[in-house]
Amino acid sequence: MRHFKKIASVCCSIALGMLALTGCEDEHFSNINAPDWLSEKVDSIANAQKGDDEVLEGMMEDVYTIGNTDYSSGWWTVFSKYYVIPEGKKWNAVFNLSINPAASNTYKNFALIICNDNEREGEGYLEYGAIRYDNQPSGNSEWGDYIDRSYVQSTLTFETDTDEGISQLGGKVTLTVDRSDPESFRVTITNGTVTKTYNQPSPLVNLNADESNTNIRCFLAPEGSYINFQQTNIEPIGGLTSAEDKNPVSMVLQGVPDEVDLGVPLDSAMADVTAVVTFEEGVTKTVTAEELSFSSIPDMDTEGEKTLVAIYNKTFKGENCEQPIVASATFNVVEKIASIEVTTQPSRKNYYYYTSPATEGMTGRTLVFDPTGMEVTATSVTGTERVMDNSKLTFSTIPATVGDHTVTITAAEGVTATVSVNISESVASEVHNSTNMLGAEDNTSAFKAEFSDYFDVAIGETKSIKFTNYSDLAANWNNFIVALRKSDEVTEYAFVRADNWGDGSGYAACVHNGTQGDWATWLEGMNGAKVTVYVTNCGNGTADVQIVMEGTTGTTSTQYYLGVNTIDSEDLTFALSVDHCHLVFNE
């Protein structure tokens, strides 16, 4: 508005001047051309208003939701459609990103995945990499063999994945993947508040088996958030989804409780239930219990198994639909619990932890309780007894300090019991690999292509191993890997890397952090870094991995992964592996 006023002021001033010169002869004033300086001034002000925002052309409606609207979607569980981008073209997308107000991790947003022209994880599928909206130089906000993090810039940077400010990433987002310049590849993600760019001064290589096919595909993968997609300038595989209203065709219930106390009304018992509703054209959204009608067959007045029937009768836009849809699930009505008692003690009551330079300054460190072998008997309000399923109980955490500690077991509000466990500090013993080198000396060994010896880690033990890490320095993940496996050397609990990332069934539960600092500086020191890895069998179904890295730049950094779960404490081994690096032992 203030620029409009400037333009108006300039125009009015010159107009008054012209009127004075012509003696207010209107018939002549209308034919007077504006002088060049005035045109230039007006154009200058108008251009200043335009800013750097790109004008999106050829946009089409593509209206659908990606992810659960209760923010429960985990990583790599929900995806957008595929958008195929030919060489020389540009993809523009507009969508609303909803961030969980309770999110405590900066990575709970979305990632752009860039791949070749194949189905995800199918035969021939290859990824260039991923670019997540948040920017964390010390974490993995970008990854992939063809993504160079040095080309990333953002107006908002997080030092750790627990920094505050993730809410700034929400709202209307414009995404551009630009292949229009044959000499570059560019990505821009912006919501007007936070802008992240990736400007690669070279084109993408062709990863398609057919060299004549130069297309790439892109798709979006949210985590702990959801996306309401709105517009695209490229029609996706499977076609566009219109914004016209749509009737529901099916739904799946989520969060139905296994057990409900006798006497609790059905609506109260199902208050946290949600349903993923699929509408015409394949559009989905998650609806809450308030939007569903529930009934129980048979009724709730007696104990036993019940069938929950849920009815939904709204269109995508919330109007009454032509034909309601129905979904069902089962649950049990049980007598309310008055008290619980530990009638069989857990199999393992002795837990262990180890303190290395990676954790010596850590405060508030805890261990989790292992209920294996424990039996808890519940007594109902009428005096009947039953053995509880341990998965329906919750347990307090245990301080990682030496001594006896009490664990509180909770079955329901105000219904608790306790059990005692003992915590000891583990002592490390060093192990040695049977060969002096792992991986090709020219750092060409592929990801997890080779493994060191496997080392057994018994309950309460900590095993340490020392080596020198040599890397091709192409990316932060091109360094050593620690794999936790069963003694069959095949069944893997998890693997973890030097750069604050890992994967596997036991990885999601662990607490992890590192002191690498600036990513480029840390990576520079990893070619020739002296490394010590510590692996502890905590005796409670978890394992800890701690790492100390003395870089060639004179800086020592540390990394820890605490509480990797799904571990069989009676069967834990670890080995080292490589990814475009090699390791030298026994120096």
Can you give the pLDDT at residue 347? Answer: 96
Domains along the chain with CATH numbers = 2-50 (no CATH), 60-232 (2.60.120), 248-334 (2.60.40), 337-424 (2.60.40.3630), 428-584 (no CATH)
Size of the chain in residues:
587
- CA gap 305, 442 in Å, rounded: 64
- Residue identified by tokens 């959801």 is 226
Question: Residue 57's pLDDT band (boundaries 50, 70, 90)?
Answer: confident
Lowest mean pLDDT among 20-29, 260-269, 368-377, 446-455: 20-29
State yes or no: cis peptide before 298, omega within 30 of 0.
yes
Higher pLDDT, 40 or 247: 247
Higher pLDDT, 570 or 17: 570
**Widest CA span of the chain, in angstroms?**
107
Q: 334 φ, ψ to 5°?
A: -130, 160
| Statement: residue 49 has pLDDT above 60 | no
- CA gap 405, 397 in Å, rounded: 10
Question: Residue 38's pLDDT band (boundaries 50, 70, 90)?
Answer: very low
pLDDT tens digit sequence for 288-326: 999 999 999 999 999 999 999 999 999 988 999 999 999
| Statement: residue 40 has pLDDT above 70 | no
- CA-to-CA dists, residue 143 to 136, 192, 485, angstroms: 12, 25, 25
> What is the per-residue DSSP string for 304-367?
EEEEEEEEEEE-TTSSEEEEEEEEEEEEEEEPPEEEEEEEE--S--EEEE---TTTTT--S-EE
The percentage of the chain sitting over the pLDDT mark of 70, rounded to a whole number, equals 91
Can you give the pLDDT at residue 17? Answer: 41
pLDDT tens digit sequence for 338-358: 999 999 999 999 999 999 999
For residue 252, give the nearest of 327, 202, 362 by alpha carbon: 327
3-state DSSP: the chain helix, strand, coil percent, rounded to 5?
Answer: 10, 40, 50
| Statement: residue 545 has pLDDT above 70 | yes
Question: Residue 22's pLDDT band (boundaries 50, 70, 90)?
Answer: very low
Long-range residue pairs from 40-46, CB within 8 A, at least 24 positions apart, any chain = 41/10, 42/7, 42/10, 42/11, 45/3, 45/6, 45/7, 46/3, 46/7
Where is 284: in which H helix or E strand? strand 284-288
Can you give the pLDDT at residue 4? Answer: 35
pLDDT tens digit sequence for 200-252: 999 999 999 999 999 999 999 999 999 999 999 999 999 999 988 999 999 99
Around 408, how many Cα atoms within 13 Å sit in the side-chain half-sphere? 9
Two tokens, residue 410: 């909770």
Average pLDDT score over residue span 463-484:
96
Can you give the pLDDT at residue 3? Answer: 37
- Residue identified by tokens 């292949």 is 179
pLDDT tens digit sequence for 87-111: 999 999 999 999 999 998 999 999 9
Evaluate whether 304 touches 333 at the Cβ level (below 8 Å): yes
Can you give the pLDDT at residue 268? Answer: 96
Can you give the pLDDT at residue 8? Answer: 39
Evaluate whether 422 touches 404 at the Cβ level (below 8 Å): yes
Two tokens, residue 503: 């994967």
**CB within 8 Å of 289: residues ≥ 6 apart:** 267, 270, 271, 272, 273, 274
Evaluate whether 63 touches 243 at the Cβ level (below 8 Å): yes
Count of CB atoms within 10 A of residue 35's CB?
Answer: 11
- DSSP strand pairing (185-190 vs 195-200): antiparallel
Count of CB atoms within 10 A of residue 316's CB?
Answer: 23
Evaluate whether 535 touches 460 at the Cβ level (below 8 Å): no
User: What is the four-CA torsion angle of 354, 357, 360, 365, rounded to 10 degrees?
Assistant: -50
Two tokens, residue 283: 């559009």
pLDDT tens digit sequence for 386-426: 999 999 999 999 999 999 999 999 998 899 999 999 999 99
Can you give the pLDDT at residue 519? Answer: 84
Can you give the pLDDT at residue 537? Answer: 98
Question: Residue 175's pLDDT band (boundaries 50, 70, 90)?
Answer: very high
| Statement: residue 43 has pLDDT above 80 | no
Mean pLDDT taken over the chain: 90
Question: Residue 2's pLDDT band (boundaries 50, 70, 90)?
Answer: very low
For residue 562, give the nearest of 398, 373, 433, 405 by alpha carbon: 398
Can you give the pLDDT at residue 402? Answer: 98
Q: 324 φ, ψ to 5°?
A: -60, 155
Beta bridge partners of 375: 344
Q: Report helix, strand or coil for 84.
A: strand
Question: Computed from CA positions of residues 408, 411, 412, 417, in that sequence, does the dihedral angle turn out positive or negative?
Answer: negative
Is residue 277 packed enough to be buried (19+ CB in 10 Å), middle (13-18) or exposed (0-12)? buried
Amino acid making up residue 303: E
Can you give the pLDDT at residue 281? Answer: 86
Can you give the pLDDT at residue 431? Answer: 98
* C-alpha distance across the termini of the chain, in Å: 71
Beta bridge partners of 196: 154, 189
Two tokens, residue 238: 């499977």
- DSSP strand pairing (415-425 vs 350-353): parallel
Q: 77 φ, ψ to 5°?
A: -115, -25
Two tokens, residue 487: 């003694």
- Residue identified by tokens 């060049």 is 36
